[in-house]
Structure 1
Amino acid sequence: MKKKKLIVLSGAGISAESGIATFRASNGLWEGHDVNKVATYDGWLKDKELVLNFYNERRKKALEAEPNEGHKILANFQKYFDTTIITQNVDNLHERAGSKNVIHLHGELFKSRSTVDENLVYNIDGWEIKLGDKCEKGSQLRPHIVWFGEMVPMMDLAVQKAIEADIFIVVGTSLLVYPAAGLIDYVHDEVPKYIVDPELPPISRRPNLHLFPDIGSVGLKKVSEEIIQHYA
């Protein structure tokens, strides 16, 4: 029997349980830094060393973090469903927990890319990109991160996955950051949708919506028991 397609949209809340600080746009700061200085292309042009050092520190912290129970529950779904995780997170905790099909909407912390050819992407050995590290075409390497104002290249694939979903889970995001937040609009009405986040989004009137105002690992345990029983 063909497995149902389970699509998961994950946000910063699921990694917060592993000790990775969430980004909150309300005060314009991320780990004490002005996002305009470390998460925009203009910021990169003004001070490449600052930006590189900022992401080097994020990488060091991510290496120290471990996948939590929420990450592991999502990886376990692969036994029962054709599972794809669409994540807004740039860490690799989903992969380290065992998830095989992960789409990173906002880029990947442990990769670098060329500043003259966006198709030249490299794995980072360790945690550091240095000023002077160059691609094969001779340009400075930058973090493989989608900064504010940049296109989200994986969005079309994510939309297609949302359209194909038989079950849709949102975890660790209050659906306020676009375009990722708009993915739920592509999920068919008849598809069961599970939202797991302490700050539930204002979408309670949607059909087949199940709300769990919990942190990721707690809510996902409840969701896991329900959907494996009913849909596996």
Structure 2
Amino acid sequence: MSAKEMVIGLEGVELGADGKTVSYTQFLYPTNVLGRRNTIDSTSSFSQSRNASHRSLILARANSNQSSLDTGNEMVDFREYDPNLLDDPQWPCGKHKRVLIFPSYMTTVIEYVKPSDLKKDMNETFKEKFPHIRLTLSKIRSLKREIRKLAQEECGYEESTVAMAFVYFEKLVLQGKLHKQNRKLCAGACVLLAAKIGGDLKKHDVKILIDKLEERFRVNRRELIAFEFPVLVALEFNLHLPEHEVLPHYRRLLQNS
């Protein structure tokens, strides 16, 4: 096959009337994978837009210092929740990736790096993008794994219930409400709320779930129960979630099961 025939066979390239090749690659839209890059790049303006004309949330404080959701003097807000933001596959790449851009597509080459260095680089990049979040990305994903193990493997809840707990948890993360002291109470409260909304739990079932949450996250049951309402307020009582927020998490759970 000649070089000319190979060029003509490319998507977006055809032979013009005068015999010269005509390219339409400028009209090609990026794939979903490439579109995720725009999602990460757009987060640079996240801290600027969160102070816009969207109303702020004020959380009630629990009795204990550990169960406080107060973020200090700064009120952090977000406009629209993106279920793919914290689970974006490009986050682990960091500075160790090399992006090769071609006329109609893009590819990424990731060099080998020690897991510890990769984790450190990922957390540093995440901190630069989201300076208001006081947890590292690795810690956030670790808590989500704990949520899944407890809800799906130990309690036998369906993927839809786990996906709802993920949405509640990530919304609190993106608001900047979580920190080192209250992260496990937040995770436990999100599971508790998702279980109540996703299934018809009896009083005995709720007690069993609280026992498992107390054991898994090593939190006090009284603090966990008292923390449920502040989390509910932070979510603006919007526990019935739209499909576009839950479905991406649901699909990932099915793929990993």
Q: What TM-score do you get using the length of structure 1 for normalisation?
A: 0.29
Higher strand proportion (structure 1 or 2): 1
Q: What TM-score do you get using the length of structure 2 for normalisation?
A: 0.27
Q: Which has the larger radius of gyration?
A: 2
Higher helix proportion (structure 1 or 2): 2
Choose between structure 1 and 2 for higher RCO, CA contacts under 8 A separated by at least 6 residues. Answer: 1
